[in-house]
A and B are shown apart, each in its own frame.
Chain A
């Protein structure tokens, strides 16, 4: 009997432990998260060396942008989780709508970020202004690249849901895409307070 079908030792009502997605996606996600952890560390050490500059520069950021963007990404992640739930129940049309919702949230995040960047550049603030803004543009820029890549993945998953090409028993591709998208969300959950709120 294969490990997947061997359920004789599992008590009723307690689902068997299993790895969501595949091992490879976790290696990729953990590597990406480690890189971000190092970047978070660099930012905090930079702040330690010049707290007055970082605090003054932070006030040039609008926390409403950061807060609303967090709400957008959290909602997007929720849609991705609901899409997975719908596929597991073979409700492909519903899953497609949730994936579409997650994609639109990703798009909204990118648009909001573009508005925020434009506002900063129009105020004469750029990557070269000071150390704080070097970190701000670099960290949010790398994160925005992840959002754009994740949105492309969501678009592919939307087409896959439309053609019902997921296995409801084990929708591995959708699980992997969702894991990546949740990582994009959780990195922003830390990045946002670090840049906008730490005082």
Chain B
């Protein structure tokens, strides 16, 4: 039980749920392809930020590393979404 109360365990549960939502709910044809794709990419970006912050422990790292990691994530997300929507 102690194991499941750790912040990394809560983050892991959130990551698993977000993955299931992207893979088996949003991929269905209930929403337009554009809405589904942008939502799926944003969910992926949110998951990556959780992994970087909590698993890689960057949330407790010096500002420079946090900026580099966030910069990479913003650049990659913007690149994918922009090219997709062009």
Contact = CB atoms under 8 A, between A and B. Distances in A.
B8 A67 contact: no
A175 B61 CA distance: 13
A65 to B, nearest CB: 10
Contacts of A197: 22-23, 26-27, 36-37, 40
B72 A33 contact: yes
A18 B41 CA distance: 30
Contacts of B36: 197, 199
Interface size class of chain B, counting residues whose CB lies under 8 Å from the partner chain: 35 or more
A77 B84 CA distance: 29
A198 B52 contact: no
A18 B62 contact: yes
Given A78-B9, A186-B48, A198-B37, A17 B61 contact: yes
Nearest to A46: B83
Contacts of A26: 65
Interface in B32-86: 33, 36-37, 40-41, 43-44, 47-48, 51-52, 54-58, 60-63, 65, 68, 72, 75-76, 79-80, 83-84, 86
A48 interface: yes
Contacts of B60: 15, 17-18, 20
Q: Is the interface of A mostly helix, strand, loop or mixed?
A: helix
Nearest to B45: A190
Contacts of A182: 51-52, 55-56
Contact of A67 (B20, B72, B86): B20
A12 interface: no
Contacts of A80: 55
Interface string B11-30: 01001100110111011000
Interface in A184-199: 185-186, 189-190, 192-194, 197-199
A41 B55 contact: no
Given A20-B61, A67-B19, A193-B41, A75 B12 contact: yes
Contacts of B76: 37, 40, 190
B65 to A, nearest CB: 6
Nearest to A75: B12
A185 B51 contact: yes
A78 B6 CA distance: 11
A186 B52 contact: yes
B80 A186 contact: no
A30 B72 contact: yes
Contacts of B8: 78, 81-82, 85
B61 to A, nearest CB: 6
B79 A41 contact: yes
Contact of B79 (A19, A44, A189): A44
